[in-house]
A and B are shown apart, each in its own frame.
Chain A
Amino acid sequence: MHLSVSAVSKTFGHGAKAKLVLDDINLDLDSGEFVALVGSSGSGKSTVMRLVAGLERPSTGSITVDGRPVKGPGSDRGMVFQKYSLYPWLSAAENVAFGMKLQGRPRRELTERTAYFLEVVGLSDAGRRLPSELSGGMQQRVAIARALAADPKVLLLDEPFGALDLQIRESMQEFLYQLWERTGLTALLITHDIEEALLLAQRVHIMASRPGRIIRTVAAQLDRTSLAHLRVSRPFLELREELAGCLRSLDAGIPA
C-alpha cells in the first residue's frame, strides 16, 4: 500500500471570499508506517485528513492510494473521529459489525471478525453494552475496532483521544502503540499534541497555520520498548522541546 498526497492545496469559498486553507501539502505513507500530522487549531490538519478520507476534494494536486486517485470516501481508508464516533443505538459489538454489514459480508464472517476485533481492543466482555454505558476510552477503542474490522489499507485517526482525560489518554496511547506493533496497521494520526505524535509515529509533520502548510518533517527514531520510559527519556524530551519551540514561534508570528 502506498498513500501519496502531492502538491495538494485547498481553497474554501469563491471569489473575494475565497480562503486558502491548505498550501502545497506533500506526504507519503507506506504499509506498516505510523505517521503523525501536528499543528495548532486552524492549521488545516483536519482538512488534510478529510481530503485523504475523500470527504472533501482538493482544489489542486492529487491524492492517490496505490496509484489510483481518491475520488470519494471508501472502506480502504477507515476513519476514527474525535467525537460522536459510535452509533448510540447499536451495542459495542453491533458497532464493530456495522461497516462489515454495510459491505454486505456474510453473516458468519461478520460474527467471527466482530469477536476477533473486540478481543483485539480488549473489550470482549463489553460487546452487548450500549455506547452510553462505556467510558470515553472504551468508546474510542470500539471505534478503532470498527474501523479495523472493515479491513482498511490505512487508518485515519482525527484527534482520536482529544476528548479524553489525561490519564486515559496516556493509556490509550499505550494501547494504540501496542495495537500498531501487533497488527502492523498503517496509520495517519492528526493531533495537536507533540508528545502524542512523537510517542506513536516514526515520522512527524509539523504544520503551520494560515494557510496550512507543512513546515517541518522529523523522523522520530526513538527506542519505544517502553513508552513510559520514553516519555521521560532525554532524546524524547529534547525533540519535544525543539518542536514545541517551533510551534510556539509560529504562534508568536516569528518565522521558524
Chain B
Amino acid sequence: MIATPSAAGKARSTRPTRAAALGRWLGHPWSLGVIGILAVLLLWQLIAASGLVNELFLPSPKAVWMAGSDQYSSGILVRDLLASVGRVGAGFALSALVSLPIGIAMGCSRVICQLLEPLMGLIRYMPAPAFIPLLIIYFGLGEEPKILLIFIGTVFFNTLMIMDSVKFVPSELRETALTLGGHGFQIITKVVMPFIAPQVIDAYRINMASAWNLVIVAELVAANEGLGKRISMAQRFLRTDEIFVGLIVIGLIGLAIDLGFRLLMRRACSWAN
C-alpha cells in the first residue's frame, strides 16, 4: 500500500525528465544548427522525390551519395582533395608567414605603416582572380601560379588585420615592460606577439575562406586534378551529382578548418576567452 503511490509517482516523473533532457539537448549550442542542416536535407529529399524538378538539375541525396562513394572508392576524391588541400596549405602558409612579421612591423612602426599601407590598400582592391592570366604567363600551368594566387589573395588581408591588432596593444603593457628593463625586440616577442595571438589566429581563420575560394577558381581555369577541376569536368558531362559532391566536400573541409582554428584558439589562448 505504501509502495504504490511512490511507484505511480515514478511512472509519472519519467515524462518531465524526458522533456527536461530534450530541453537540455536543445540548449546545446550546436543542436539548432544540426536541426537546420537536417531540415534542408529533408527538403532536398522531398523535392527530389516529388519529381517536380528534373533529376538532371537536382539529383537526389541518394544519387549524390552514390556519386561520392564512387569517387571515393576509385581514389579520385582523395587525389582531388589532397591536390586542393596541398595548394591551399602551401599558399596560405606562405601568406601567414609573410604577413606576420610585416603586419607586426607596420603596427609597431609609423614609418613602415605609412610606407606600405597605401600600397596594400590599393592592391587589396584588385580582385585576386584577375591576376590569374598574368600568373599563367609568368609561371605556366603548374602549381606555382595556383599557390601564388592564394598567396596574393590573402597576404594583404592577413597583414592589414595583424597590423590593426598590434595597434590595440595597450600602451601600458609595452611601457610596463620598458620600465622592467625590457628593450625593443623583447617588447615585440614578449608583449606584442602574445597579446595579438588570438586576433592573428582569428584573422587566419577568416581569410582561410578566401584561400578556399581562390583554389577552386584557379582549378576551374587550369588544373589536372583538384576539387575545382572535378566540378568543371562534371559540368562538361552534365554530372550535377558530381558537382554536388564537390560542393559538399568543399563545404565540409571549410567547416573542419574553421573548427580547427577555433580549437587552436581555445587551447593556445585560453586567457582570451
Contacts and interface: CB of A to CB of B under 8 A. Distances in A.
B212 interface: no
Interface residues of B, number: 20
B172 A98 contact: no
B195 interface: yes
Contact of B191 (A73, A81, A87, A150): A87
A85 B177 CA distance: 10
A3 interface: no
B195 to A, nearest CB: 7
A113 interface: no
A81 B180 contact: no
Nearest to B197: A89
B70 interface: no
A162 to B, nearest CB: 13
B180 A102 contact: yes
B235 interface: no
Contacts of B194: 87, 89
10 A-B pairs with least C-beta separation: A75-B181, A99-B180, A73-B178, A84-B170, A79-B179, A102-B182, A84-B172, A81-B172, A89-B271, A103-B181
A78 interface: yes
A245 interface: no
A88 interface: yes
Interface residues of A, number: 30
Contacts of B172: 81, 83-85
Given A53-B175, A83-B172, A102-B186, A88 B271 contact: yes
Interface of A: 53-55, 72-75, 77-79, 81, 83-85, 87-89, 98-99, 101-103, 130, 132, 143, 146-147, 150, 152, 156
Contacts of A78: 179-180
A79 B177 CA distance: 9
B109 interface: no
Tell me whether chain A's interface is mostly helix, strand or loop, or mixed: loop
A150 B272 contact: no
B179 A77 contact: yes
Interface in B173-220: 173, 175-182, 186, 190-191, 194-195, 197
Interface string B92-113: 0000000000000000000000
Interface of B: 170, 172-173, 175-182, 186, 190-191, 194-195, 197, 269, 271-272
Contacts of B272: 88-89
30 contacts: A53-B175, A53-B179, A54-B178, A54-B179, A55-B175, A73-B175, A73-B178, A73-B179, A74-B181, A75-B181, A78-B179, A78-B180, A81-B175, A81-B176, A83-B170, A83-B172, A84-B172, A85-B176, A87-B195, A88-B271, A88-B272, A89-B269, A98-B180, A99-B177, A102-B181, A102-B186, A102-B190, A103-B180, A146-B180, A147-B179
Contacts of B190: 98, 101-102
Contacts of A88: 195, 271-272
Contacts of B182: 99, 102
Contacts of B191: 87
A73 to B, nearest CB: 4
A75 B271 CA distance: 27
A75 B173 contact: no
Contacts of B170: 83-84
A54 B183 CA distance: 13
Contacts of A72: 178
Nearest to A88: B271
A109 to B, nearest CB: 14
B265 to A, nearest CB: 13
Given A55-B179, A89-B195, 12 more contacts: A73-B179, A75-B179, A84-B170, A85-B176, A88-B272, A89-B272, A98-B177, A102-B177, A102-B180, A147-B180, A150-B181, A156-B179
Nearest to A143: B176
Contacts of B271: 88-89, 130, 132
Nearest to A81: B172
Contact of A79 (B175, B197, B269): B175
A136 to B, nearest CB: 15
Contacts of A84: 170, 172-173
A236 B143 CA distance: 80
Contacts of A89: 194-195, 197, 269, 271-272
Contacts of A79: 175-176, 179
Nearest to A78: B179
